[in-house]
Amino acid sequence: MFYDHKEIEAKWQKYWADRQTFKAEWPSEKPKFYALTMFPYPSGAGLHVGHPLGYIACDIYARFKRHQGFNVLQPMGYDSFGLPAEQYAIQTGQHPALTTEVNINRYREQLDALGFSYDWSREVRTSRPAYYKWTQWIFMQLFDSWYNRETDRAEPISTLVARFEAGGNQGLDAACDADTPIFTATQWNAYTAAERQRMLLRYRLTYLAEAEVNWCPELGTVLANDEVVNGVSERGGFPVVRKKMTQWSMRITAYAQRLLDGLDRIDWPQPLKDAQTNWIGRSVGASVVFKTQPTAHQPDTFDIEVFTTRPDTIFGVSFMTLAPEHELVEKITTPEQARAVQDYVAASARRSERERMADVKTVSGVFTGAYAAHPLTGEPVPVWIGDYVLAGYGTGAVMAVPCGDQRDFDFARHFGIPIPNIFEGVSVEEEAYEDKQNAVIANSGFISGLGQKEAARQVIAALEEKGLGRGTINYRLRDAVFSRQRYWGEPFPVYYDAEGLPHLLPEHCLPLELPEVEKYLPTETGEPPLGNATRWAWDAQAEAVTDNARIDHKTVFPLELNTMPGWAGSSQYFNRYMDPRNDQALVSPEAIGYWKDVDVYIGGSEHATGHLLYSRFWQKFMFDRGWVPVDEYAQKLINQGMILGTSAFIHRRSGTQTYLSSGLAKGEQTEPIRVDANLVNASNELDTEALRSWQPQYAEAEFLSENGVFKVDREVEKMSKSKYNVVNPDQICEEYGADALRLYEMFLGPLEQSKPWNTAGLSGVYSFLKKLWRLYHQGPDRSFEVLDGEPSAESLKTLHKTIKKVTEDIQEFSFNTSVSSFMICVNELTAQNCRERAVLEPLAVLIEPYAPHMAEELWQKLGHQDSIARAPYPAFNPDFLVESTKEYPISFNGKLRFTMELPLDLSKDELEARVMADARTQEQLQGRTPKKVIVVPGRIVNIVG
Ligand code: ANZ
């Protein structure tokens, strides 16, 4: 019988689906194991062979754990809100829910074809109301919470209100807006309801505030920092500008330190931890106040607060620089400088923050005309503005120390701001510079001769005494903007009163479902697409959505028009999978108590500062409020590498429709153009006729071949539909089967590394599978035949060697080496002519995680009624590996003459007797009696004399 992968795979996929083989047990007495891969956004293009890499690895591990007796939860779902479906809706008018459904169905077919052991009964889709009810619920809980720095955790807003009523906010250590005023209990109690709400918004963990945002006019929406790459949108590459808008924000900064600390407790890849650490950007330093000096024009004094990581350099300050957006700029600028300052501020508003950060060459700035007093010497310090100082970092102002900071130095040089004489003519790179810098820093005497740390400590102490500074810790992490001006996202369960203050819907009214709209574009007045809905008002009495026409701001109010960002739905999905159909809670205490956390999470490193940071933040919040038992949800995380595609390029003669074969292009003016790599064979020859029908611009083109063939250039790059280098798993499953694809993806190389795809390599794993199959089919006419007798010691050794290696490899997520061990194993067993059940049965279980379809088929043929999925994992027995004999070198007077295979458990005397009895020994001795026989058991025998 031959290995008919098509029939076998279809049979078992149906079997698994019909019997729900991989449904996690609930409730269960077994120990739990939760294996998770990042759920996909179901795009219209479907899966390519790069996508399943992490899924296969995770599935192997999940299957392995099932054999080990764990109750395995391996769920799958869809991150199904998002931009592409909405863009498509804008172009075609099709409802994003419909296209999303179509795409999901296609994904599901492709996933099923690969034989994953998912518990599909737990599927989630973030765009389903029953799911996003809980995304809305978390938003409401965040709104209803504040961060108490004294207890270092989030608490219900009611405890904050109680504190305000009893003692105002004096002495309260809480995460809040930087400019929150101080008030007493009496003041609080005298506030109007609206004033109180406004004050509470400054403390809530999600709050509405005017914020500088990344606005992408082309996409018509705000983007998060991690969605902007090099000043353009990550999706589509459109320009992004800074703009002030009222937006929902998440006070993730309250968790900055805990997000850092938590990294020490989780087994995540170091590069990913580094990326999060840098993104959070902790800086230890001081905040220092410089008081402006009053002038005739501006009699008031203002505090300019700066953040510095080098308080020890305070005596080297020769000027100050404010960000152009700094609120004091207008107040302190002198009339003489007003014009220049206004022009400068306007010009820099046109540059994005990223541009400003990236640009280290251009020195630009302008003098405000104002001076501030040095907090320790009292000397006047000129105040400038410059766009190298960012409004959003620290306090948006710096004390400039040309002797310590390159940018300050360049700035001073450029504008001729006096720097202490001794620095003139010395470049910062020079060695002498550091000595001079130290001399200036030490200038005051009282910190002279101290190390940087101690000097900083003393400067801070001196500043504190004067009430002009204190030690602070600053984080680069910003609060996360949470509003998007899109249709296809979670609606906020929020309505607005006449004063424009937000109110939450009652919890029992969730989910607030997305309304229908005619158009998915922003409205003519620039409102988000939900502004097109005519039924998008909240009737607070009836507790129901109603027509906008009824809005009276008394009982009927307008609903929020923004929707939530892409990361909302993915920030708690791992907990929802534990109890996905619960409509009373996001997850029940019983379910979270049992499943607790994700044991292994596999996904792409591109989510380092997006999903993987936001989800940790929400988890910590959920933990603080007592809904989950752990504050890190994934103990172990693995970033799978990328599978790279091999793109094909042809050369177009510039300005023509003539294309040159690779060899002809040298020395010509040509542009390389990507073409469909599927039209190129293994010898890099392009099927030009197929190309003509691939895209219309090639229909009439001229192709110049060399020696009758048209050759392309190849380049290995990211596999992507836009690069025309994708390989579709469907074709491969068809031709070689899912088991071969699974083995091959693992065989390509270490999981974490990027590696190029090469379809030709599949035939190798395919013949391995056929060989494996043949081991069980050695009967007449290759029929199934397995013998019940004792296997040979050799075969047992091969089996146990493989069990040991493969088990160690799986535990280290080293799947490529397991595949080679299987290959060696099958070769050895074939050579040994092994046909015994005692070897072949455990082998089937061993390979099941990798090639589950074939394993099931063999298992059934071996006479089992049940699926192989929960068959116990073969136990490793080291006894079979112990070598029982040894090839002894037999020497005469130190010279090796021959070798003898002897049992290892012989005593010295027995060994000597056996050696002496051998004919070859007698021949060497030729009748002589040896003087001495030296026997080292397990090593050598030497006969002397
Ligand atoms: C004086 C000084 C002397 C500084 C010196 C550095 C070296 P990190 O580590 O990134 O936190 N700074 C502060 N706020 C800024 C802003 N909004 N835009 C641009 N630069 C800003 O760096 C903090 C340092 O960056 C601060 O310490 C400040 O310059 C500058 F020898 O103060 B320093």
798: number of Cβ within 10 Å:
25
DSSP string of 49-70?
Answer: TTTHHHHHHHHHHHHHHHHTT-
Whole-Å CA distances, 344 to 48, 239, 332, 347, 355: 50, 22, 15, 5, 16
Whole-Å CA distances, 736 to 55, 574, 829: 19, 34, 23
d(C-alpha 562, C-alpha 543), whole Å: 20
Phi-psi region of 943 (alpha: psi -120 to 50; beta: other; left: phi over 0): beta
492: number of Cβ within 10 Å:
27
Q: What is the DSSP letter of 391?
A: T
Residue 146 placed within a domain: no
Residue 219 placed within a domain: no
Do 471 and 334 fall into the same domain? yes
Residue of minimum CA distance from atom 26 in ligand 1: 308
Residue 257 placed within a domain: no
Beta strands in 167-229 (DSSP E): 206-216, 221-223, 228-229
DSSP string of 842-897?
Answer: HHHHHHTTTSHHHHHHHHHHTT-SS-GGGSPPPPP-GGGGS--EEEEEEEETTEEE
pLDDT at 61: 98
Residue 148 placed within a domain: no
The single-letter code of the amino acid at 859 is W
Last residue of some domain: 835, 850, 880?
880
Q: Dump pLDDT digits (tens) for 861-885.
A: 999 999 999 999 999 999 999 877 8
Report the nearest atom of ligand 1 relative to the CA of 311: 1
Residue 691 placed within a domain: yes
The CATH number given to whatever domain includes residue 452 is 3.90.740.10
Residue 488 placed within a domain: no
pLDDT at 238: 87
Q: Is the CB of 317 under 6 A from ligand 1?
A: no
Question: Between vectors from CA 920 to CA 919 and to CA 925, what angle results, nearest 5°?
Answer: 95
Do 533 and 588 fall into the same domain? no
Beta strands in 149-205 (DSSP E): 153-156
Q: Give the residue numbers spanning the domain of 104.
A: 16-138+570-639
Diameter over CA atoms, the chain: 125
Which residues have a Cβ under 8 Å from the Cβ of 712 and sit 6 or more positions away?
A: 648, 649, 650, 662, 675, 680, 684, 685, 686
Last residue of some domain: 561, 588, 606?
561
Q: Is the CB of 75 under 6 A from ligand 1?
A: no
d(C-alpha 578, C-alpha 595), whole Å: 7
Do 309 and 382 fall into the same domain? yes
Q: What tokens does 563 get? A: 């929707």
The CATH number given to whatever domain includes residue 920 is 3.10.20.590
Residue of minimum CA distance from atom 31 in ligand 1: 404
Q: Is the CB of 275 under 6 A from ligand 1?
A: no
Q: Is the CB of 468 under 6 A from ligand 1?
A: no
What is the per-residue burial (b if ≥16 Cβ within 10 Å, else e) of 107-131?
bbebbbbbbbbbbbebbbbbbbeeb
Q: What is the DSSP letter of 575?
A: H
Strand-pair category, 713-718 with 643-653: antiparallel
199: number of Cβ within 10 Å:
21
Indicate the number of domains in the chain. Answer: 6
d(C-alpha 187, C-alpha 164), whole Å: 9
Do 784 and 871 fall into the same domain? yes
Residue of minimum CA distance from atom 20 in ligand 1: 389
Whole-Å CA distances, 467 to 36, 170, 286, 317: 53, 18, 13, 19
d(C-alpha 840, C-alpha 480), whole Å: 56
Distance 401 CA to ligand 1 centre (A): 10
Q: Is the CB of 207 under 6 A from ligand 1?
A: no
The CATH number given to whatever domain includes residue 54 is 3.40.50.620
Last residue of some domain: 561, 589, 614?
561
At 187, phi and psi to the nearest 5?
A: -65, -45
Strand-pair category, 600-603 with 670-675: unpaired
Distance 196 CA to ligand 1 centre (A): 36
Q: What is the DSSP letter of 586?
A: S
Low-confidence ranges of the chain (pLDDT < 50): 444-445
The single-letter code of the amino acid at 211 is A
Q: What is the DSSP letter of 931?
A: S
d(C-alpha 180, C-alpha 166), whole Å: 18
Do 542 and 585 fall into the same domain? no
Whole-Å CA distances, 638 to 66, 603, 752: 20, 7, 7
Residue of minimum CA distance from atom 29 in ligand 1: 308
Q: Is the CB of 393 under 6 A from ligand 1?
A: yes
Do 354 and 407 fall into the same domain? yes
Q: Dump pLDDT digits (tens) for 800-850.
A: 999 999 999 999 999 999 999 999 999 999 999 999 999 999 999 999 999
The CATH number given to whatever domain includes residue 813 is 1.10.730.10
Do 598 and 611 fall into the same domain? yes
Do 409 and 336 fall into the same domain? yes
DSSP string of 396-418?
Answer: SEEEE-TTT-HHHHHHHHHHT--
Q: What SS3 class is residue 585?
A: coil
Do 693 and 615 fall into the same domain? no
Which residues have a Cβ under 8 Å from the Cβ of 99 and sit 6 or more positions away?
A: 44, 85, 88, 89
Residue 89 placed within a domain: yes
Residue of minimum CA distance from atom 2 in ligand 1: 310
DSSP string of 648-707?
Answer: EEEEEETTSSEEE-GGG-TTS-EEEEEE-GGGB-TTSBB-HHHHHHHSGGGTT-EEE-BT
Do 444 and 540 fall into the same domain? no
Q: Is the CB of 441 under 6 A from ligand 1?
A: no
Do 301 and 419 fall into the same domain? yes
Residue 158 placed within a domain: no
The single-letter code of the amino acid at 909 is D
Do 820 and 928 fall into the same domain? no
pLDDT at 426: 54
d(C-alpha 418, C-alpha 511), whole Å: 63
Q: What SS3 class is residue 465?
A: helix
Whole-Å CA distances, 29 to 25, 26, 443: 9, 9, 72
Report the nearest atom of ligand 1 relative to the CA of 307: 13
Q: Dump pLDDT digits (tens) for 99-135.
A: 999 999 999 999 999 999 999 999 999 999 999 999 9
Q: What is the DSSP letter of 239?
A: B
